[in-house]
Structure 1
Amino acid sequence: MSRRSTQVLARLAQAAVVVLGVVILTFLMVRVLPGDPAVVYAGERATEAQLAQVREQFGLNDGLFQQLFHYVGDAFRGDLGVSISTRQPIANDLARALPASLGLSLVAMLIAVPGGVLLGLVSVRFAGRALDRIIQVFSVLAISFPVFWLALLLQSVFASKLGWLPVAGQFSSRVEQQHPLSAVTNVAIVDALLTGNWAVLQSAGLHVVLPAVVIAAYPIGLIAQLTRGAVSEQMRLPHITMGRALGFGENELIARFALRPALTPLIAVSGLVLASTLVNSALTEAVFNWPGLGSYIFAAIRAIDTAAVVGVTLVVGVAYVLINLVADLVQAAVDPRVSLA
């Protein structure tokens, strides 16, 4: 077995251990929260017989380690318990909410990564000039804007005043009534594309613009700054000086010799940013009434639905681990010098 294969297996094993740790931490989080889980599920007016039935149903009478064993086993089987607000399995609720959030985050990253890299490269190409300063100011503002303020600002300008884009929702209910959408992945754009529902596809495409831009604001500013810094550092190395002496132009030097070495840290940061958008998009989803994890967890918090909140925490934690694992593997594939150990 090659050294690289050994590193990949070790990285996979490390990710599995971290996932197990996340599951155990969520179990402990449930147990340290105040209140009786049986009372939370059955209600404060439940009788002793009803509470005893709930405790027996969910294994609350078992010892702590036995409960942990069952919880870990259930979590790895996808059983996250039952929501007290929806009375549905939490896994089923998340299966509907997670794709909508993940789809929105992916659209935001499709805006942020190419846009941030392009802005960073333009900033390097015109370093010290007015365009470079404008891009740097823009990137700082994009990172600094409060999410809710930017969301409300874009709604006010592009939805309320100009009327160019819809204000909220995943797609128009009026369009959906005329052209019912069949759920396949629970991502409106993907489902409309797969089923050939062009009316809903157009509506969903318009509805995703504003929330995606809000979520993309922070990563596009961050990636622009990182790209500028990484490529600028490459441009000061001896092989770039040699390229200039050989007659290569600045654009060719950036594209052929400076960009690829700078991609390694960008891939790692992009993975972290994609994972963080699943959490940071909660407020954006609430403002835009987007039916994803954000809307689900806000409803769970209002209903004091501890099990649902813990379920979201577990899913997001696992998503962090898996996305970072993929980012590390891609980073190692792009740059053989990167170690996975």
Structure 2
Amino acid sequence: MRGDYAPRFHRSLNELPGTSALLGPAHDFCANALEEYASRLQQAKLQSATALERGLRADTQYKTALQQFYALVPVTPPASVIGRGLNQLTALAYSQYQQPQVREVAEKIGAYAGQAEQERQLAAQLARQAAQALREAEVLCEQAIRTATLQLTAVDAEAREPTVVDSRTSGGDNKALTGAGSRGRSTEGPPSGNQSSGGRLAQERGRQYEDFLKEKLGGGENFRQGGREFDGTFQENGDEIWYEAKSGNFWKKAAEDSRIWIKFTSNIGDARRIAEASGKKFYLISENPIPQNIIEWLTKKGLSWKIIPMN
């Protein structure tokens, strides 16, 4: 942003806590959870309505058949003992001392009643399944919102500690980790222990993968556009593709730390929006296989992806 008000605007932004950037992704994460719940709720309502209609229709058919059977066959012991048990076999048993013509009609009525009862039981099972699916959706939605809320609360304790900002190494694992308010720290003084070693390895892996993709795809360097950094660009079928690269064990980290996942979902959506606004296509490129649940999420969001291992 440039102009007369730009310095004042930037000063105001700089005064905000570093974790303010997580509010947007957390809001999107909760919104996605509610959207998923609403979708499952609608499915459950439709399934329940269908089950109710089928069940009532089958129940009416059974009761009608039962009345016809009572009118045709003198039942001993009392008719109430048949209950829901009228079918082809029981009809033959109750009518065994009747004339052949009566037995034939009774058998048909019993078969019809048995089919109606099976349909009623199936409808009841569908209704129970819909109720169970709704309960599971409620739990998943609650967990997602609770996770986002708890993560924001936890990260708030780190608000006074600056995160690492490295534009060159923002690709691969490091981009999601630093952006999500993970364990990155100020560059004042060297970090120590395994954390430092692991961070350097992840950064180096990210650099290597970006260089590998550039050579393999014959594309350009990483660049910034619209306030977002892209890991590179290449040509495919006459289209220019801008991409985000994920290397190393990023998917494992995202599964273990919801802050990384929240930030990833926000970043990937922004990147696609910026690319498409610039008349380009956007791809997610992964060094390693993408977990199936994430593939389903990418497909639902209409995001394109490729898996390109680094040999």
- Alignment TM class, shorter chain as reference: under 0.3
The structure whose residues are more often strand, as a share, is 2
The structure whose residues are more often helix, as a share, is 1
Q: How high is the TM-score relative to the length of structure 1?
A: 0.23
Larger Rg: 2
Q: How high is the TM-score relative to the length of structure 2?
A: 0.25
Higher relative contact order (CA 8 A, sep 6+): 1
